Amino acid sequence: MENQEKEYEQDEWKIALHTAILTAMTGNPVEKAHAYAEIGYYYQCCAPASLYKYYSDTPEKVNAVKKNKMWYSAPCNFNDVFDCDISIDDKKVFDEALKLFPDNRGIRPGSNAWKNFRATMNQQLRELRAQFNELRDTTGVSCLSESENSLLMWAHYANNHRGICVEYDLLAINNMLKFTAVPVIYSGKRTCFDFLNPQSIENDTMKLFIQSLTSKSPEWGYEQEWRIIRNQKACGDQWNADKKGALLDMIPPSSIILGCAAQPEFEREVTDYCSTNRIDLYKMEKDPITYCLNKKVVSKFGEEY
């Protein structure tokens, strides 16, 4: 993959962590052992301490938070049409596959062998597309953010600032749930399948799929997104085939932030929940001078403020 991400001033450590996670998921035993050591370093020394998830003020969303649950949705439900959409360069795949013939023997274009090989390759690529589409429908993804004060995310995901933003400890997610949060890489280049090696096709397919799940256009860069990925098998009987997703266990919140436009009844509900469970509570306020949000303490436990 070209280092086009640098154009968008993306953190080098985040690209390195992303690469290490892909290796840990798809590499050989030696590569995986080295990758896990790298991952540990980046999570401990470079990654943010917390990640945040925005919720609207609907009963369904709030009840999930109260029960320490989180929804994992299949990418086919996402609002970005390019999300997890892998392109396949048919011509390049075919040209590269021709080079795999023994002794570097060529095949004359238009010959019977060339036509038969072309038909075989086209069938394999159709099956590959079907496999990618199935994975897109049967993989659960939960999206979090490094940012707690994004005006756009408060508007889009928290019902125009009426909802909440929930803080989760990143290391606790990894340690307690054995899930790995993966940083999204923002790049102008889409994930593309352009080489078919029969000996590594299964591994290459999974690597590209995970890469497509964790790569987005730079236009989404303001979200500073991280993703937790669970396949249908990992979701087990919690997978909802109709909604294409699963409601899974999550760690308790570290804190909750009310939106600046939270309605009184909803605010009382969240305040009562935080008080009962000794969870720090904040509320956003509009800055009087600039276009930004200021976080104000509502109640805090375990330390003076």
pLDDT digit string (tens) for the chain, length 305 residues: 344 444 445 689 999 999 999 888 888 889 999 999 999 999 999 999 999 999 999 999 999 999 999 999 999 999 898 988 888 888 888 888 887 776 666 778 888 988 898 898 888 888 888 988 898 999 999 999 999 999 999 999 999 999 999 999 999 998 887 778 999 999 888 888 887 776 677 777 888 888 999 999 999 999 999 999 998 888 889 999 999 999 999 999 999 999 999 999 999 999 999 999 999 999 999 999 999 999 999 999 866 54
Q: What is the pLDDT of residue 46?
A: 94
Is residue 31 one of the residues assigned to a domain? yes
Q: What is the pLDDT of residue 303?
A: 60
Query: If you search the block for the tokens 């509502």, which residue do you land on?
Result: 298
Is residue 74 one of the residues assigned to a domain? yes
- β-bridge mates for residue 143, sequence order: 227
Q: What is the pLDDT of residue 8?
A: 47
Is residue 305 one of the residues assigned to a domain? no
Report the domain count for the chain.
1
Lookup: tokens for 270? 């969240």
The residues, ordered by sequence, that sit 6+ positions from 255 with a Cβ below 8 Å of its Cβ are: 166, 167, 279, 280, 281, 282
Is residue 304 one of the residues assigned to a domain? no
Q: How far apart are CA 212 and CA 135, in angstroms?
A: 11
Q: How far apart are CA 161 and CA 284, in angstroms?
A: 9
Range of the domain at 184: 4-299
Closest CA to 99 of 107, 89, 111: 107
Q: What is the pLDDT of residue 28?
A: 85
User: Where do the H-state alpha helices sit in the chain?
Assistant: 12-26, 29-45, 59-66, 90-98, 112-138, 151-157, 170-177, 201-213, 232-235, 264-277
Is residue 289 one of the residues assigned to a domain? yes
Is residue 201 one of the residues assigned to a domain? yes
Radius of gyration of the chain (CA): 23
Prediction pTM value = 0.88
The residues, ordered by sequence, that sit 6+ positions from 140 with a Cβ below 8 Å of its Cβ are: 72, 73, 74, 229, 230, 231, 232, 234, 235, 239, 245, 246, 248
Q: What is the pLDDT of residue 262?
A: 98
